[in-house]
């Protein structure tokens, strides 16, 4: 429904982004400007370094996952169905919207807004905001991105402690993505949520933070 490419491709680009942040090997290198980091990177071929350095990372765990393989195999048809057909069908069938209204609003506008909000994590959250955890890297804490991307604006934290499932030290602040994972944990569908220990976060803030909180 999100149509942000399949899980394998998404995770591959994302791992390369973390490993080689703000270099030519970063698929959406924010040093190439807001537009490139936001959407421009999808309009051009990948930089040679993205492909060459990306090849050195291991993605076998992703392909070992049957859900990843299933989604990748049926990706094109599921995108057509979930991102375009279903959102058009529901308002048309259930409360009598015209087909074009349903298509342009529930499908196209929803898709456009959700993409742009997600991309703000790569553009705005790599340029504007404070850096309480590591002032030497570009990713920042950005309140607006956080609200738009439902909990993904704690980007300085996320790049400093990328293994933390919550992408934030504030589980109870506005972070619906964390609430969703916690709910799945409660249902027993998620195990081994990793978080950075409080003491590690505090020490890191003192050592490399910019003094903000």
CA–CA distance, 89 with 96 (Å, rounded to integer) = 10
DSSP of 169-187:
S-TTSS-HHHHHHHHHHHT
Total residues contacting Zn ion by CB under 5 A comes to 1
| CB of residue 64 to Zn ion, shortest distance in Å | 21
Q: At what angle do helices 66-73 and 7-19 cross, to 10 degrees?
A: 110
| CB of residue 86 to Zn ion, shortest distance in Å | 28
User: Between the CA of residue 62 and those of 8, 180, 208, what are the distances in Å?
Assistant: 6, 21, 33
| CB of residue 21 to Zn ion, shortest distance in Å | 6
* Residue number, 155 or 205, with CB nearest to Zn ion: 155
H/E run at residue 112: helix 110-122
Give yes or no for a contact between 30 and 37, defined as CB atoms under 8 angstroms apart. Answer: yes
* Residue number, 132 or 139, with CB nearest to Zn ion: 139
| CB of residue 6 to Zn ion, shortest distance in Å | 17
* x-marked contacts with Zn ion along 91-130 as a string, rule CB under 5 A: ----------------------------------------
Helix (H, G, I), strand (E, B) or coil at 192: coil
* Residue number, 87 or 139, with CB nearest to Zn ion: 139
| CB of residue 19 to Zn ion, shortest distance in Å | 11
* Residue number, 163 or 186, with CB nearest to Zn ion: 163
| CB of residue 125 to Zn ion, shortest distance in Å | 7
* Residue number, 54 or 139, with CB nearest to Zn ion: 139
CA–CA distance, 138 with 30 (Å, rounded to integer) = 8
Q: Which residue is nearest to Zn ion (CB)?
A: 139
Spatial neighbors of 191 by CB under 8 A, at least 6 apart, are: 185
Q: Stretches 49-57, 131-139, 171-179, 188-196: which one binds Zn ion (CB under 5 A)?
A: 131-139
Backbone φ, ψ for residue 154 (5° rounding): -85, 60
Q: Which residues bind Zn ion (CB under 5 A)?
A: 139
């Amino acid at each position: 429904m999100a149509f942000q490419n399949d899980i394998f491709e998404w995770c591959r680009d994302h791992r390369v982004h973390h490993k080689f942040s703000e270099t030519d090997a970063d698929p959406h290198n924010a040093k190439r400007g807001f537009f490139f980091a936001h959407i421009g990177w999808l309009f051009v071929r990948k930089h040679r370094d993205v492909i060459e350095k990306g090849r050195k990372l291991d993605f076998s765990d992703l392909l070992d996952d049957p859900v990843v393989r299933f989604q990748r195999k049926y990706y094109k048809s599921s995108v057509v169905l979930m991102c375009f057909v279903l959102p058009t069908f529901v308002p048309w069938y259930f409360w009598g919207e015209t087909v074009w209204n349903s298509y342009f609003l529930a499908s196209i506008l929803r898709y456009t807004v959700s993409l742009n909000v997600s991309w703000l994590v790569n553009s705005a959250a790599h340029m504007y905001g404070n850096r309480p955890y590591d002032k030497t890297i570009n990713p920042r804490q950005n309140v607006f991105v956080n609200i738009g991307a439902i909990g993904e604006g704690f980007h300085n934290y996320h790049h400093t402690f990328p293994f933390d499932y919550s992408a934030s030290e504030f589980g109870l602040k506005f972070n619906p993505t964390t609430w969703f994972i916690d709910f799945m944990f409660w249902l027993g569908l998620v195990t081994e949520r990793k978080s950075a220990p409080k003491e590690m976060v505090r020490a890191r803030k003192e050592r490399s933070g910019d003094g903000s909180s």
